[in-house]
Copies of this chain bind each other. A is one copy, B any other.
Amino acid sequence: MSRRQLLNAPEDVVPEALEGLALTHPDLVTYEPGAALVLRRAFTPGKVGLVSGGGSGHEPLHAGFVGVGMLDVAVAGAVFASPNALQVHAGTTAADQGAGVLQVVKNYTGDVLNFRIAAEIAADEGLEVASVLVDDDLATAGSKVGRRGTAAVLAVEKVCGAAAEAGADLATLAALGRRVVGSSRSMALALAAGTHPGDAGPAFTLPDDLVELGVGIHGERGTGRVPFAPADELVDRLVAPLVEDLALDGSVPVVAIVNGLGGTGPLQLSVVARRVHHHLRACGVGVARSLVGSYVTSLDMEGVSVTLVRADDELLRLWDAPVRTPALTW
């Protein structure tokens, strides 16, 4: 039996989904199909604009995070493909409310390139633009292009979005975003790959007795395979290297994000969250806040990522600030 999906023509899935999102949340966002932008319904003159984006297939990222206290504009590429520089330029200038624009960019070659070109064009046109590069995926540390950007992008968007809402200027926001990135690491595993819209089967297959460790969010293979095991053992394999790399010694608490990769539901995610809490408690590390859900997905990949963020009072205050977007509200 092949994997099937609720789609019309596969090439229409992104514009149709963005239109559906805007129809669902007319109070929060609008959709501009020309450049595949989702924009905040009401802008705030004098606020720094926040723009992010990238390939689709990671929903609710990024369009689901457009709204009050988070992004002003999200730019959508095709599934797993960067939006082009013209789209990103359109999104960057659309985010401008008179105080400059912060780009939040996940570390992937296409995204980095297209956001940079867009920033240069916008700067030539007189817009003040700064960028934060998110590179949290510990599995790819030491690779040629550096760590990939994965679920920590959510923390950057939330924290910088709250600070922008509170009136922070562009330089402050860029420094803050880089501080969140430097404080964040993620690790992911997959039990099954996702299926690209229109494809008959998943991007890779796994034997029943193995789990793919260190997967990214684009259907690429992980950095290794480990034996399938009870959830607690698998979760420990994610959390232990994060604790080590972030040098968590109990002196600072963390924000813990347990992120489903698309095909793993809340029952399993809560089982994972339980072990993340137990593991950190055993290390003497406090969990100041946690967020559990499917926020940065890889189509319908079955699996989970864990992101830990070293917390401090400023970061927690911004984390707690009100947010109202299609996918994240408190």
Partner-B contacts on A (CB < 8 A): 1-9, 13-14, 16-21, 23-24, 56-57, 59-60, 64, 191-192, 197, 205-208, 228, 230-232, 234-235, 258, 262-275, 277, 287, 290-292, 294, 297, 299-300, 302-304, 324, 327, 329-330
Contact = CB atoms under 8 A, between A and B. Distances in A.
A4 B273 contact: no
Nearest to A278: B23
Given A7-B268, A59-B267, A23 B277 contact: yes
B297 A20 contact: no
12 contacts: A2-B208, A4-B208, A4-B228, A4-B302, A6-B231, A6-B235, A17-B266, A23-B273, A24-B277, A56-B267, A59-B267, A59-B270
Nearest to A294: B265
A318 to B, nearest CB: 17
Contact of A272 (B6, B262, B287): B6
Q: Which of A206, A228, A273 has the most CB of B within 10 A?
A: A273
Given A6-B304, A18-B270, A267-B299, A292 B24 contact: yes
